[in-house]
Amino acid sequence: MTTTIEMKKLSSKNIVSPKGFAAAGVHCGIKHKKKDLAILVSEVPASVAGVFTTNAVQAAPLKVTKEVVYSTQKMQAIIVNSGNANACTGKQGVADAYEMQKLAAGKLGIESNLVGVASTGVIGEIMKMEPVYKGVEMLNPSANLESGIDFSQAIMTTDTVMKNTTYATKIDGKEVLVSGTAKGSGMIEPNMATMLGFITTDANIESVELQKALSHITDCTFNAITVDGDTSTNDTVIVMANGLAGNEPLTPTHPDWDNFYTALKAVSEDLAKSIARDGEGATKLIEVEVEGALNDEEARKIAKTVVGSPLVKTAVFGCDANWGRIIAAVGYSGATVDPDKITIQIGGTTMVKQGEPIPFSEEQLIEILKQHEVKIYVSLEQGDGHGYAWGCDLTYDYVQINASYRS
């Protein structure tokens, strides 16, 4: 196993940067003006892994994509639209999702069972297929960075910014890239959220090992964010690994496994945090770190409870150093806690130590809470568990955006 992780972040790269990937994004008329149809393609069938929403109500495209991930276990392309979730649309919605799969496969000249489908937007409206027919003909995938940007723009709904990240690492002495792009801004309570994430890599790894890695990483990245506590019908994260870097097949026993795993986790964490930061109407990213829990799972549970508390979120928005809301959330998280051992800090300032209030400067805390990133730390002294969660403040704009989402 690698003892020193070799990895660097590349700011000038995006989803098409790993060898053998191309993308496109166009406006076809599903939405009024902005880009709304996109495609991501690998030169060769790629190993694939996926994680999906835990909502019992799942959109039609998930049925199609799950078949590709779990049955074909190879994916060469995925077609994505924004503006319509194709969720709760009955048999017609399923037929339309399969039609999108067929259209994309025909455009690329590949088998349909190698094509995934993802949709995001309004729930309960039948997909307008005429724009899709026109849009598929307009899609001309390219490996240039502009095409990667087009893809990222076309998958956005209420997002205010694109979410892209890339890391380079070394495997068998060869450079391997791991790149990701995502959309997500509201209805974010992953297990997973209105969140679509796409990750590409030129690493050589079989689907079964890729799936194990992604599933484990998801628990402490995508499933550690919350914006509003609502779990979407469409959440999907897909990883495609086409092997064109030419390394020996990766498994947990490979000497450079840690390099790959850490890069994949870094991409996932970057995307997860960027989604939390861009929550609808948000002005601040909130990070909660919990240590001393009974185990890592309980630590993450407590962290997510704190960051998901509407009272904590509104206190952060209002720059109110109300630590009582934090300790209350810790207490109702369902995890094992001893109130007499809880320590709480905001921005490095201790407010509670082992259950006892500590005098602090209200003015200093207000300045800390005015920052764009607010860090809350909780120590429990119950065990070795350690975990993080990310979210955002709850603002007037969140209410306004979601009060008129369909109009």
Q: What order of strands is seen across the sheet that includes strand 385-392?
A: 356-357, 349-353, 343-346, 373-379, 285-293, 385-392
- pLDDT tens column, 158-189: 788 899 999 999 999 999 999 999 997 543 44
Task: Give residue 232's pLDDT.
Answer: 66
Rounded Cα–Cα distance for residues 175 and 327 (Å): 46
CA 56, CA 347: separation in Å to the nearest integer? Answer: 38
- Name the residue with higher pLDDT: 194 or 68: 68
Q: 195-201 and 174-184: which strand pairing?
A: antiparallel
Q: Under a CB-based contact definition with an 8 Å cutoff, are residues 52 and 193 in contact?
A: no
Instruction: Summarize the confidence of residues 90-109 as an average pLDDT.
Output: 98
Q: Determine which of 2-16, 61-75, 198-212, 353-367 has the lowest per-residue pLDDT on average.
A: 2-16
Q: What is the pLDDT of residues 201-254, one digit of tens each?
A: 999 999 999 999 999 999 889 888 875 555 667 889 999 999 999 999 999 999
Least confident window among 52-66, 123-137, 260-274: 52-66
Catalytic annotation on 343?
no
Q: Give the mean pLDDT of 56-79.
A: 95
Q: How far, in Å, CA of 359 to CA of 361, rounded? A: 7
Domains and CATH numbers, the chain: 7-275 (3.60.70.12), 285-403 (3.10.20.340)
Tens of pLDDT along 281-292? 678 889 999 999
What pLDDT score was predicted for residue 58? 87
**Whole-number Å distance between alpha carbons of 75 and 6:** 28
Model pTM?
Answer: 0.83
pLDDT over 50 at 191, yes or no: no
Please report the pLDDT score of residue 193 as a whole number: 37
Q: Which residue has the tokens 């590709």?
A: 68
Amino acid 3: pLDDT: 62
The pair of structure tokens assigned to 374 is 């607010």
At 108 the pLDDT is: 98
Q: Among residues 194, 200, 236, 395, which one is catalytic?
A: 194
- Whether the predicted pLDDT of 135 surpasses 60: yes
Q: Give the tens place of pLDDT for each residue, 27-38.
A: 999 999 999 999
Burial class of residue 128 (count of CB atoms within 10 Å of its CB; 0-12, 13-18, 19+): middle
Q: What is the mean pLDDT of residues 400-406?
A: 61
